[in-house]
Structures are given as C-alpha cells and as structure tokens.
Amino acid sequence: MTPWQAAKIGDPVQAIDTPALILDLAPFERNLQRMALALQGSAVRLRAHAKSHKCPEIARRQLALGAVGICCQKVSEAAVFVAAGILDIVITNQVVGAPKLLHLAALARQARIGVLVDGPEQIAALAEVAQAQQVRFDVYVEVNVGSNRCGTAPGEAAAQLAQQIAAAPALHFAGLQCYHGSAQHYRQPAERAAAIALTCDAARETRAAIERLGIRVEQIMGAGTGSFQHERDSGIFTEIQAGSYIFMDRDYAANVRAAGELVFEHALFILTTVMSRVEPSRAIVDAGLKASSVDSGMPGVWQRDDLQYVKASDEHGVINTPAAESLSLGERLRLVPGHCDPTVNLYDEIICVRDNQVEAIWSVAARGALL
C-alpha cells in the first residue's frame, strides 16, 4: 500500500496527490438515480454488479435506491461485502475447488448466497458441501447465450442441470443466468438489440424446457450497462446486473446510442500530473499501466480533445499534444479509464469530490480479492 494518502477530507481537488482515483459525486449520484428511475414501475429489479466498484459504500447506495442485492465475481469478494452487511449476494461465476466451497458455505451461514453452475460436477460438489456444512445455496444454471465463455447450451442441456439441482436436498434451483457479455460492447444499437433478442429466445426456450419438467424458474438474470433496457423490456428477465453505469468508462461511452437509450455520465477519473515536458508535441504524465488498466484501450483525456493519451508504461503515460503551450509541467488532467473494473482494482481508495473539494474517501475494500 501507499504509505500515505493522496488526500484528506476537506482538501481542495488541487491538493490531491497524483495519480489518484477520483469519483465525481454529482454525476455518480445522477447515474445511480437514472438507473433506479429506469427500473421504476417495471417488475425487473437491479442486482448491481459489485465487481465494478468493490466498495461497500457504493453497494449501500445502490441498495438504498432499490437494488435487490449485489453480484460478486469471487467468493472472497463476496466475503468482503458480507462483512460489510450486504446480505443478498449472487456470485455470478462458477466456484470450483474444496477451499472455495468451504468459504462459500461459511458465507451461506450469514447471508443469502447464490452461485452459478454450468455442469453436473459443480452441482455434485455444491450439494456435497452444502449437506456436510448444513447450509443451503441458491443455485442458478448459467446458459451460454452467445458470449461463448461459461454456460451450458440453452434448452434441454440446461434443463437437465436444473433437474439435478432440484433433486439435491441442500440446493435450491433459483433460476437462470443469461448474461451476454460481448453484446455489451457491440458498437451499433442494432447489433446489441439483435444479440439480446437471441439471448431472450434462448432464455425463453430454456425456461420452457425446465417448466416442462415441473420445475419453477424463479429468476432469470443477466444484462449489463450496454444492453439492460432490452432485458428490462423483454418480459422474461427478472433481475439485471449492470455495474459500470455508476462510473462509465471510455469503452462503454464508445457505444453508439439508440434513440431513447439511457445515457450515463463519466464519474470516475484518474487524476494525473504532467511530470515531463521536453518536446512540444509530447507530454509525460505520472499515470501508466499501474494507474489505469489498458485492456480495453488507452484512457481518454477528459474535456481535452486536443490531447491523446497514446502509450502507457508502468508509471508513465505519453500524451500527444498540439504544441508546447498546450500543457505545462505540473499541470493536472483527468483521465477517463478505458475499462473501469480492473482500474478500480489498482487502488486502495476512491477519493470522492464535489464542488472542487474532497468530500469522502471510500475504501476499495475488496480490491485484490481474487480467491
């Protein structure tokens, strides 16, 4: 950890040491409200994905506005949120191996814990640990709806897994996970609409196959920031799992929006300082690979279309500049991360700012919770 903090509460933004992860509270709160409003009057509930923020302070604000619970991606991530009092969590992932299953059982003594499966061996292992530890898991079948990552085939294959879950005394078949991850980032609205239409077909077909076995499908979950209005309006989804809407990264902002599609605002930034200014056409800032994940492209420079962040090394960022006078040594910029989730995971704290002042500092309590 950094042996000192980048800022303290009450500091002006200008006094924050860099690089620092800052959350602009006004657009963040508008994003929270916008999502809550988008689901108002619908039967679909938000189960916010906490892998984006790893921060209990943010999860509480999502629950306060109507989220039914949260998603986590790892058992240890969920443990951090349970310890913080978040008591309805679905781990939207497969959980494999004895150490993880024992930790999962320990969590299920304290909270409502859901977990995904996409094969019979995982169900057998969950059933065994639940029985031995005298806990109950809510188990969802993950269906491959087009992302070709985890997930069983839709229809009969999924129905067989549902039947196996329903037959296990310590497991409860809770429904389906139908998340189309790749579709979130299809640039054209028509591509996203078409992909989610197929997702909904797969979900309907699978639900029907399971219901033919006399098994009830309580929940159908999925969706993300890039597509959730389609799932909301599908008549089949019951919970949506958007996470990035609170922050908005550069990659999501690159999606072309359809008419009527909700727009979320950039609220999360990396504050950085120009630390070298030798060539007129080049500035070097103090935020590199360890300050901003570049897996989905370089960060953008906020409200400075004349500047391009073009290259990152460990602790340097190279910015192309039109002229020497466009940026001076010591000047500070806000960067918009290419991908928020792995960027937040690089920081111990989120520095929350409003009206040019540090209002709060929130712990990224689940940072590094990989197990």
Return d(Cα 330, Cα 63) in angstroms, integer: 40
Specify the stretch interacting with a second copy by CB under 8 A; choose among 191-199, 219-227, 252-260, 274-282. 274-282
Instruction: Tell me: does residue 323 bind a second copy (CB under 8 A).
Output: no
Instruction: Kindly write out the interface string for residues 293-312 of this chain, putting x where it contacts a second copy by CB under 8 A and - elsewhere.
Output: xxx----------------x
Please state the φ and ψ torsions of residue 158, each to the nearest 5 degrees: -70, -35
Instruction: Tell me: does residue 156 bind a second copy (CB under 8 A).
Output: no
Peptide bond into 19 cis (omega under 30): yes
* Closest of 61, 80, 39, 43 to residue 267, by C-alpha: 61
Candidate list 167, 208, 254, 371; residue touching a second copy; CB under 8 A: 371
CB of 284 to a second copy, least distance (A): 5
Instruction: Tell me: does residue 150 bind a second copy (CB under 8 A).
Output: yes
CB of 131 to a second copy, least distance (A): 19
Q: Give me 29's structure tokens.
A: 């709160």
Residues 219-248 that bind a second copy (CB under 8 A): none
Specify the stretch interacting with a second copy by CB under 8 A; choose among 24-32, 94-102, 190-198, 351-359. 94-102
CA trace torsion 303, 308, 313, 316 (10° rounding):
-60
12 DSSP assignment = B
Residues 16-45 that bind a second copy (CB under 8 A): 17-20
Q: How far, in Å, are 110, 117, 260 from residue 232 at the CA level?
A: 30, 24, 14
Cβ neighbours for 360, distance < 8 A, ≥ 6 positions apart = 9, 25, 57, 352
Candidate list 277, 297, 324, 362; residue touching a second copy; CB under 8 A: 277
Instruction: Tell me: does residue 51 bind a second copy (CB under 8 A).
Output: yes
245 DSSP assignment = G
152 DSSP assignment = B
Q: H/E element holding 175?
A: strand 171-177
Instruction: Tell me: does residue 216 bind a second copy (CB under 8 A).
Output: no
Nearer to a second copy, 39 or 150 (CB): 150
Candidate list 305, 314, 325, 355; residue touching a second copy; CB under 8 A: 314
Residues 123-142 that bind a second copy (CB under 8 A): none
Instruction: Tell me: does residue 85 bind a second copy (CB under 8 A).
Output: no
Residues 162-191 that bind a second copy (CB under 8 A): 181
With beta carbons less than 8 A apart as the criterion, state whether 298 and 53 touch: no
